[in-house]
Amino acid sequence: MAEKKKTWKEIPIGGKIIEAGNAEKYNTGSWRTFRPEKNEKKCINCLFCWIYCPDSSIKVEDGKMIGFDYEHCKGCGICAAICPVKCIDMKKEVK
Amino acid sequence: MAMIEIRWHGRGGQGAKTASQFLGEAALDTGKYIQSFPEYGPERAGAPMKAFNRISEEPIYIHSSVTNPEIVVVIDPTLVIAIDVIGGLGDDGVLLVNTDKSPEDIRKATGFKKGKVGTVDATKIALETLKLPMPNMPMLGALLKVNSLVTIDQLSERVRGKFLKKIGEEKTNANLEGIKRAYNEVKIG
Amino acid sequence: MSKKIPLTGDQAVAYAMKQIEPDVVAAYPITPQTEIVMNFSSYVANGQISTELIPVESEHSAMSACVGAAAAGARTMTATSANGLALMWEIVYIAASTRLPIVMPVVNRALSGPINIHCDHSDTMGCRDSGWIQIYCENAQEVYENTILAIRIAEHKKILLPVMVCQDGFITSHAVEGVELFDDKKVKDFIGEYKIDNPLLDVDNPVTYGPLDLQDYYFEHKRQQGEAMKNALTVIPDVSKDFEKTFGTKYDFIEEYKLNDAEIAIVALSSTAGTVKFVVDELRAKGIKAGLLRPRIFRPFPKEKITKALKNIKAVAILDRSESFSAEGGPLYTDIKAALYDSGVKPLVSNYIYGLGGRDIFPADINKVYADLQDVVKAGKVKTALNYLGSRE
C-alpha cells in the first residue's frame, strides 16, 4: 500500500469524505497472518460467523455461508471461535 | 447647535431610561443625531441609576458615559441629597429636579450656585393624571421648557407612538397630559 | 436613503438577521446578547420569517446544532457573548475546520472571572486562533451592515469560513442610536441564495462530515484553512466593493481617521475608536497632529494595510481591551508589533490595556495617551511599553 498521498490542494475541504463507501477500497485483507478456511462438510449455515464478523467479511448468498471476503478479512479469528460446529480453521497465511 | 449632553438620575423602575430614550427618539425624528443609553449596573428596582442622552446636528462619535452634561434631570427627589447630582455640571448648566421644593431650596441643598435650576412636582402631576407615581414623562415636559430640543408636539407624537399599543388610549393621554402640565408648571429660578 | 430609526446595537443585529432570514438559528440567550435572541424570536413567533429557530439548552448545543444545520445545507446563524462563547469553544473550532460559513454576532463581554457582564474583548480575543473571521464594529449602524456583509464573506467559495461580527457589550449593544435600514429585497438580493457543495441532505450524493483525520491528512486540512484565511485578504475587498455599490457604505480592513499627516496615533477597536475620533478632533483644533487607526477586521490580520497606515507615524499607542497575560501586552499590540518587524516601518510603539470589565474610557483617558505619545516623540524612545489605562495604581 505505498499509495502516494494527496496534497492539500487535491483533497476536499473541511475533512469531508465526498465519495460514498470508499472505505471498501481500503484493503485490510493485507493485515492477515492467519486466514479462515471452512470445512464445507461440517458447516450448518447457522450464520453465527456472519453476525459476529467485525469486518463484514463473511459472504452469504441465499441464506448460505459461501466463503470469506479476503480483501477485507483481517484474520481476527472471531468466526472460528464462535462457530458452534468448529468448521472454520485458522491457517497460517502464506504470502 | 453644538452637542447637548444630558444626564438623568433616577431609581431603578422610575423610567429614567425610558424618558431618555423617548427624548432621543423624538430628536431623531427631527433629523438629529442621537444617543440614548443607561448606565447598566446590577439592575435593581430602587437603586440609584443614571441614563444619558447626546443630541447633535453632527454625527456623534464619542461612546463614553456623560461626565460634563449641559442638563441634569433628577427624577427622584431623594437623590438630590443622596448623591452628587451636580458633578460635572457646568456654570451655565441646568439642574432640573422633581420636587415640591423651590429652585432656591434646591440650590441650597445641592450647592449649585450658577446656571439655572428648575423644579416641578412631577410625582404629584403623575398621581393626578396617570394615577401612578411615575414622574418620568412629566420630567420630559419640564425639560423641554428649559431647552427646546424638540417641541412638545414632536415629543407627544413619539410618546403616543410608543405607548398607544402598549398601555391604551386613556393612559397614553394621561401621560401626554402629564407632560404638558409639567411644561407649564415648572418653576425656573 | 431611508429614514433613520432608533435602535440599540442588539436590535440592529436582530433586524439584520430578520432580513437575512437564515434557514436555521440555534441560540441560547446570554447578557448582553439577550436582546438579539429575544427580538429575533419574536420575528419568528409572529410569523414574519420562516427561520427554524432552535432554542437549545446551552451554547455548546447552540454551536453543535449550527454545525449540523450548516453541514445539512442550511444558511445558519447564532449569537453569543463571553461565557456563552467559552462554553461553545470546542464546537467553535469544529465549525471553522469543517468549513461551515456560520455567521455569529458576538456582543463582547468580559470573560469570567471574576464574574462581570460588561464590555471587554477577552471573549473574542481568546478565540482569535479558532479559524473564524473576526469583524469589530464601532456603532449600531456598522454592526447592522456588517452582519449582512458577513454572510457574503463567509459563504464565498474561496473562503468558506465562519464569521464573528463583534460589537461592544452595553456600550453599543444597549445604546439607542439612529440606524438607517436597508430595503428587505435589496438585502435578499445581495446575500443571494445559500448553496454549498456536498450538503449532508443531498441523499443522492451521500457524504461524510467530521471523520477521524490523523497524521496523514489533518495537517493538509489545516493548511487549507490557512489558505482560506489568506484568500479572505484578497476576496473581502471584492465583496466589500459589491456592498458599497449596493448599499453605499465603503468598508475596508481598517479605518484611518486623520492619519494622513498625523505624527502621533492611537490604534483602537470598536466603540472606543469613536471616542478617540472625538478627542482627535479636539486635538486637531489645537494644532496637534493626532490620528486614529481602527482595524475593522482582526482575523485575517491585515498586516499590509496596518503597516502602510502607520508608515509616517512617529509614535503609536495600541489600545487593547483585553489582557493576553503573556506579560508582553495585549493581542492587538503583539500582532501589530510583529507585523512592523519586517516591514521597515519602525514607529515608537506602546501598549495600553484599558476598559476591562466595562471600565469606562473617557476622552480624558485618551487625552492622556496622546500626551504620553507627545512625550515619547520628544524623548525619542518609549519609557513604558506596557501601560494600564484607567486602572487604579
pTM of the model as a whole: 0.93
pLDDT tens-place string over residues C55-112: 999 999 999 999 999 999 999 999 999 999 999 999 999 999 999 999 999 999 999 9
Question: Closest partner residue to A15 among C97, C160, C205, by Cβ?
Answer: C97
Q: What is the mean pLDDT of residues C222-241?
A: 98
Residues from C contacting A (CB-CB < 8 Å) are 97-100, 160, 198, 205-211, 213, 216-218, 220-221, 223-224, 227-228
Spans of all domains in chain C = 4-247, 254-389
What pLDDT is recorded for position B1? Answer: 59
CB–CB of A15 and C98 under 8 A?
A: yes
Residue A15: list chain C partners with CB under 8 A: 97-98, 209-211, 213, 217-218, 221
- Comparing C4-247 with C254-389, is the CATH topology the same? yes
Q: Which chains touch C (3 or more CB pairs under 8 A)?
A: A, B
User: Which H or E run includes C135?
Assistant: strand C133-136
Beta pairing class for A58-61 and A64-68: antiparallel
DSSP string, A67-90: EE-TTT-----HHHHH-TT--EEE
Q: What is the ipTM of this complex?
A: 0.91
Note whether B36 and C178 are within 8 A (CB). no
Cα separations in angstroms, C59 against A25, C82, C220, C221? 39, 11, 29, 26
Q: Are C49 and C22 in contact (CB under 8 A)?
A: no
* CATH fold of the domain at C254-389: Rossmann fold (3.40.50)
How many angstroms separate the CA atoms of B56 and B52, rounded? 13
Would you give the distance in Å from CA A94 to the centre of its chain? 17
Residue type for B31, please? G
Residue A33 lies in a domain: no
Q: B156 pLDDT exceeds 80?
A: yes
DSSP count for chain C of H helices, then E strands: 13, 15
Q: Which CATH class is domain C4-247?
A: alpha beta
Q: Does B157 touch chain C (CB under 8 A)?
A: no
User: Which of A1, A11, A16 is the mutation pick for testing C, counting most C CBs within 10 A?
Assistant: A16
Domain CATH for A77: 3.30.70.20
Please tell me the predicted confidence (pLDDT) of residue A95.
63
User: For C353-378, what is each residue's pLDDT tens digit?
Assistant: 999 999 999 999 999 999 999 999 99
User: Domain count of chain A?
Assistant: 1
The conformation of residue B79, written as its DSSP 8-state character, comes to H
What mean pLDDT value characterizes chain A? 93
The CA-based diameter of chain A, rounded to the nearest angstrom, is 54
Query: For the domain B4-188, what is the CATH code?
Result: 3.40.920.10
For residue A6, tell me if it sits in a domain: no
The verdict on residue A77 lying in a domain is yes
Determine the pLDDT at residue C2: 65
- Domain presence at residue A19: no
Q: Give the contacts of B70 (CB within 8 A, at least 6 positions apart).
A: B4, B5, B6, B90, B92, B93, B94, B147
- Interval C266-310: pLDDT, tens: 999 999 999 999 999 999 999 999 999 999 999 999 999 999 999
Average pLDDT over residues B143-151: 95
In a domain? residue A58: yes
- CB-based contact C317:C353 (threshold 8 Å): no
Amino acid C345: pLDDT: 86
> Are A13 and C205 within 8 A, CB to CB?
no
Residue C372 has phi, psi (to 5 degrees) of -60, -40
β-sheet bridge partners, residue B74: B9, B97
State which residues form the domain around A86: 41-95
Residue contact B35–C118, C-beta within 8 A? no
pLDDT band at B42 (very low <50, low <70, confident <90, very high): low
Count other C-beta atoms under 10 Å from residue C149's C-beta. 27
| Percent of chain A's residues with pLDDT above 90 | 84
Listed by start position, the domains of chain B span 4-188
d(CA C23, CA B175): 42
Residues of chain C with Cβ-Cβ distance to A24 below 8 Å are none
